[in-house]
Structure 1
Amino acid sequence: MRPEIAVTGLGLVTPAGHTVEDNWAGLCEGRSLATRDPGLEGLPVDFSCQVPDFDAERELGRSYALRVDRFIQFALVAARRAVSHAGLDPRTWRGERVGVLLGVSSNSLDTYLPEFRHLGEDRADRVSRLMLPRSMLSMPAGEVGIDLGARGPNFAPSSACASGATAIGVARDLLLSGACDVVLAGGSESARSRMMATCFARLRALSRRREDPGRASRPFDAARDGFVLGEGAAVLVMERLSDARARRAEVLAQLRGYGASADAHHPIAPHPEGDGAARAITAALEDAGCKPQDIGLVNAHGTSTRLNDATEAAALAQVFGDRVPPVTAAKGVIGHALGAAGAIQAAYTVLALRHGVVPPVANFERQDGDHPLDVVAGEPRPTAADVGLSCSYGFGGQNAVLLFAAA
């Protein structure tokens, strides 16, 4: 019998707030947090979902806040809070047995713009010495390891918008193998840069509802026209269930299954029948020893783009037939945090199982397409579900699905 894996701590920094409680309240309110973004003024898409009232200097100190980019700041704050939530003390743990896996898809890109300008003006001497260490994808994990004295395996899984979920799945494997006793796993991203907004707008992936940003992100709704850029971080503290019980930790949920796959179809478009996504869901079910009818809720990737939502619905129909469990999708509320999205979703799935509630999808009014879903909308729906899926998919056809069970 393989060990069971427990989630014992959560740390969240998202547009819904900086605490677990604020995030859960905002998610259950089911209202989009998209607003005008001064940093995007003048662009074709000038709104986003922003982490509110985040004071990096107060949280981390002035010198540190100036040294690292926003996506690293989020990761460190979320990790500290997750560790505290788990009742662990970095001063006393065996640091060499503590791993850190934080998925990142890109970074803010803001750091690069002034530095490339210097280079383009033949002023190489003006390029910041901190450009690389403040922006590399591996640095959130590296900085968290330094800050908390976590000296075990430390790296950044990068599978586009599935990165945070991939990190959690690989963290589970480290625990199962015995390589670690504790892993801090999740993802961090701040996608609200002018370059990122421009790139996604050029791909026609972003909603163009400039006149009403609060109505822009609408996963699975017939009137959806693209996603809304977001940002944030989520960190889960994971350990073997036996170890958590031995130290009398509160177990929030168990991670029972992980499935991953590749569409091997197209650089940015999902497989039209949702083939890769369906295989990842099936792999997670098989890994957990579960059947489709055991699943009580689905936290969908739900980007609010025409193609992705349609193919995700097709994938769910492949696996569940005409009995798809109740579906929620957090991006309607907090936007799309790219590499952090899968980790944030995972934390929200843990909270949904813990509270016995499926949060509503913001702005959902009616469906289209051939694969109708039971989309939770309007208000939170009580549920007796004790098993749920968190599904994440990304560019390159990279898919990761996590299966959680209530504690």
Structure 2
Amino acid sequence: MKRVVITGAGTINALGSSVAQTQKAMAEGVCGIGPLDIRDVDRLSVQIGAQVKDYSETAHFNRQQIALYDRFTQFTLLATREAMAQSGLKFSGELADKSGVIFGTSGGGLTTQDENYRAVYEEGKNRVHPFIVPKLMNNAAASHVSMEYNLRGPSFTVATACASSNHAMGQAFAMIRSGVATAMVTGGSESMLCFGGFKAWEGLRVMSRDACRPFSANRNGMVQGEGAGAFVFEEFEHARARGAEILAEVVGYCMTSDASDIVMPSKMGAARAISGALKDARLNPQDVGYINAHGTGTTANDKTECAAVADVFGPHADKLMMSSTKSMHGHLIGGTGAVELLACMMALKDGIVAPTIGYEEEDPECALDVVPNVAREAKVDVALSNAFAFGGLNAVLALRRLN
């Protein structure tokens, strides 16, 4: 069993266009949620989101690339650029053959799909661009990353709703740990902030019209975000031999299925994923200092997740810090776990635990230390990242600070 470490990280999201900007915003409790700036926003009953503002695709990509890259692919490539630059890895020869890319996304090229539905059904056009299919397909981002960096090993996309990123990163971790791969580029990306995407989510009646307040008794729903997080996972000895900076060690993960309901979460399924990740990492509950919660701000998720944590950790649950950074960067659906992993890394590397902002009123069913409103300095040796998706699909990652 090989050890797996993170040697590069990158992101773009509503809090910033780099890891440094994002972690600084998390530490300061900045809210990236605001009024939506999209076409036909006046037809929406929910008009807020955590949007990547002041973004110009022409500043990063040429006309030919834009014809091939949906917004979710653009975000993936920008985040990967930063992660690869930090890692310093170059892929050629055998290393290229034994390295790949696994990304998570739920909607894929939803913006492209929305625009072309309009063109065909609303505007009556009979022709669309010949690259629409390769632009909107869910594996587009992973494929373009593999081509950009000569990653010739196992490469694919995971689509498991809100757990997509964690499933993707868990699979990347497993491949390196088992010796199938030497390094993997992994993470997740999402850009659903278009009219059609938002209308669909409105139908679920789980969206807040004013703010995301996870664990607060007056919470009233989730808020969508967009963006990407990318990481270079690498076999420990390979990273050490080349003198790479190690940001954190990935030590375990677990995936479970509730097998019960398509939208309602299960305490048992979540608890099995958390305890499974601890077992896989050979950790005791008291080893964990921080959990980045799934924490969507919906009544069903928050109370279920708190109950699962209480069950797994027992008396230690009262000593745990658990926050939801979705209160700041919104819910990135398939990309959310990737951005949230940055909060775990900040806790481990910098000793700063990101807060749950917007917390106003204690909920007896969420009576854990949710780090309300203000970041906290603390030494954290082990952190967990929770992801619990529609469809009852759960994925939990365990990270450790490398001394």
Structure 2 length-normalised TM: 0.95
Alignment of 1:279-298 (within 5 A): 279-298=272-291
Residue 303 of structure 1: which of 286, 292, 296 is its match? 296
CA distance in structure 2 between the aligned counterparts of 1:119 and 1:17, rounded to whole angstroms: 35
- Counterpart residue identity of residue 204, structure 1: R
SS at match of 2:296: coil
Report the counterpart of residue 3 of structure 1 in structure 2: 2
**CA-atom RMSD, angstroms?**
1.7
How far 1:382 moved relative to its partner? 1.1
Report the counterpart of residue 392 of structure 2 in structure 1: 397
Residue 343 of structure 1: which of 334, 338, 360 is its match? 338
Report the counterpart of residue 35 of structure 1 in structure 2: 34
Report the counterpart of residue 368 of structure 1 in structure 2: 363
Residue 227 of structure 2: which of 225, 232, 256 is its match? 232
SS at match of 1:44: coil
Report the counterpart of residue 152 of structure 1 in structure 2: 153
How far 1:371 moved relative to its partner? 4.4
CA distance in structure 2 between the aligned counterparts of 1:347 and 1:38, rounded to whole angstroms: 26
How far 1:191 moved relative to its partner? 1.7
How far 1:125 moved relative to its partner? 4.1
Report the counterpart of residue 13 of structure 2 in structure 1: 14
Report the counterpart of residue 97 of structure 1 in structure 2: 98
1:38-63: per-residue Cα shift (whole Å, max 9, x none)? 21333101111111332222222232
Report the counterpart of residue 51 of structure 1 in structure 2: 52
TM-aligned CA distance change 1:368 to 1:244, over 3 Å: same
Query: CA contact under 8 A between 2:139 and 2:156: conserved in structure 1?
Result: yes
How far 1:113 moved relative to its partner? 3.2
Alignment of 1:5-404 (within 5 A): 5-39=4-38, 40-90=41-91, 94-120=95-121, 125-209=126-210, 216-271=211-266, 274-324=267-317, 325-404=320-399
CA distance in structure 2 between the aligned counterparts of 1:177 and 1:288, rounded to whole angstroms: 14
Report which stretch shifted further, 320-329 or 387-396.
320-329
CA distance in structure 2 between the aligned counterparts of 1:362 and 1:118, rounded to whole angstroms: 40
How far 1:367 moved relative to its partner? 2.3
How far 1:139 moved relative to its partner? 0.8
Report which stretch shifted further, 73-82 or 24-33.
24-33
CA distance in structure 1 between the aligned counterparts of 2:63 and 2:203, rounded to whole angstroms: 36
- Counterpart residue identity of residue 266, structure 1: D
Report which stretch shifted further, 306-315 or 363-372.
363-372
Query: CA contact under 8 A between 1:302 and 1:329: conserved in structure 2?
Result: yes
1:300-329: per-residue Cα shift (whole Å, max 9, x none)? 011111111111111111111243210111
Report which stretch shifted further, 238-247 or 372-381.
372-381
Q: What is the aligned length?
A: 398
SS at match of 1:234: strand
CA distance in structure 2 between the aligned counterparts of 1:264 and 1:44, rounded to whole angstroms: 32
SS at match of 2:58: helix
CA distance in structure 2 between the aligned counterparts of 1:53 and 1:91, rounded to whole angstroms: 36
Report which stretch shifted further, 151-160 or 61-70.
61-70
How far 1:115 moved relative to its partner? 2.8
1:90-116: per-residue Cα shift (whole Å, max 9, x none)? 468832222100001113523223433
- Counterpart residue identity of residue 400, structure 1: A
- Counterpart residue identity of residue 12, structure 2: V
Q: State the identity %.
A: 37
Query: CA contact under 8 A between 2:109 and 2:135: conserved in structure 1?
Result: no
1:112-155: per-residue Cα shift (whole Å, max 9, x none)? 23433455489674132222111111111001111111111110
